[in-house]
Amino acid sequence: MMGYTSGTHITIERKYLTIIDLSYTIMKELSIHTLIDLSHPLIDHMPVYPGDEPTRLEKTNDFALDGFNNFRFTSSLHTGTHIDGPMHMTESDSFIDELPLEQFIGTGCLLYAVGMKVILCTPEFTSAIVPESIVLIYTGFGKQFGNEEYYRDHPVISIELAQSFAQQRIKMVCLDMPSPDRHPYDIHTYLLKNSVLIAENLAGMEKLLTVKKFDIIAFPLRIHADSSPARIVARILE
C-alpha cells in the first residue's frame, strides 16, 4: 500500500519545500538588490546653474607617462545631481557633513506632477505622502537637462505643498529639475528652515513610474560645506 506517511515520501516533500523556500529567498534577495541610479554623471563642461563657474574635470596625470592616472575636479557643489543642505539658503550653521546619516535614506514616495507649472498641494498628493519619507516629484522636466529651458522654464512648488512636506516631517524632496522655485527662493528657505533637504537635478526618475515600493539612498559626500553632489539611488522593493 502506498503510504503518505512513509519516511521516503516525507523526506522528498521536505526537500521540495526547502527548494521552494530557497528560490523564494533568492528571488526576494534579487528584487531587494535591484538598484536604479537617479544621478547624472559628473563630466567635464557639464551644464551648470546660470551664473555658476564652469565645471571642469581634467586629466592631470597619465598612466603611460607618469605611472598613474589622476584627475582634477573643479566645480560648484550645486552642479549635477546634488543635495542642498540647510546652510545653503538659511542662517543655519549646520554643514552637510554634520547631518545625521538617517536623513539621507528612507522610504521613497513618488508624486506624479507632469504638466503642472505650479505644483500644488492636491488631495492626491496629500494622501500619497508617507510621513518621514523621501519624496520624489516627477515633472518629466528632467529630459530638458542640458537645454537652456531647463534652467529657465522649470515648474515650481507651491508653498502649500512645501508646508505639507514640513508637517509630514519629510526628510528630503528630490526633483527632476534644477530648483523648486525662482528668485527670491522662498521655497528653498522654507524647506531648509524646516529640516527638509532639497535634492536637485535627478535623472531617470521615469524608471520608477511602474514601481510600487522603493527606498531612496541619497548620500552626499562627507564634505564640510553647505551642500554636496550625491549619488542618488532607488532600491526597488516591489
Binding site for Zn ion (CB under 5 A): 78, 84, 200
Identify which of residues 190 and 214 has a Cβ nearer to Zn ion in the complex: 190
Which amino acid appears at position 21 of this protein? D
Identify which of residues 103 and 214 has a Cβ nearer to Zn ion in the complex: 103
Identify which of residues 46 and 236 has a Cβ nearer to Zn ion in the complex: 46
Identify which of residues 200 and 215 has a Cβ nearer to Zn ion in the complex: 200
Q: Taking the complex as a whole, how short is the minimal distance between the CB of residue 191 and Zn ion, in angstroms?
A: 12
Q: Taking the complex as a whole, how short is the minimal distance between the CB of residue 136 and Zn ion, in angstroms?
A: 16
Identify which of residues 202 and 208 has a Cβ nearer to Zn ion in the complex: 202
C-alpha cell at 147: 537645454
Identify which of residues 227 and 236 has a Cβ nearer to Zn ion in the complex: 227
Number of H helices, E strands in the chain: 6, 12
Which amino acid appears at position 56 of this protein? R
Q: Provide the 10 A C-beta neighbour count for residue 212.
A: 8
Q: How far apart are CA 136 and CA 167, in angstroms?
A: 16
117-140 per-residue burial string, b: 16 or more CB within 10 A, e: under 16: eebebeeebeeebeeebbbbbbbb
Q: Taking the complex as a whole, how short is the minimal distance between the CB of residue 146 and Zn ion, in angstroms?
A: 17
188-199 per-residue burial string, b: 16 or more CB within 10 A, e: under 16: bbbbbebbbbbb
Q: Taking the complex as a whole, how short is the minimal distance between the CB of residue 228 and Zn ion, in angstroms?
A: 10
The DSSP code for 9 is H
Q: Taking the complex as a whole, how short is the minimal distance between the CB of residue 180 and Zn ion, in angstroms?
A: 10
Q: Taking the complex as a whole, how short is the minimal distance between the CB of residue 101 and Zn ion, in angstroms?
A: 20
Q: Taking the complex as a whole, how short is the minimal distance between the CB of residue 227 and Zn ion, in angstroms?
A: 6
Name residues whose C-beta falls within 8 Å of residue 203's C-beta, 6 or more positions apart in sequence: 37, 38, 39, 40, 81, 142, 145, 176
* Paired strand residues for 199: 83, 174
User: Strand, helix or coil at 35?
Assistant: strand
Residue whose CB is nearest to Zn ion in the complex, by number = 78
Identify which of residues 78 and 154 has a Cβ nearer to Zn ion in the complex: 78
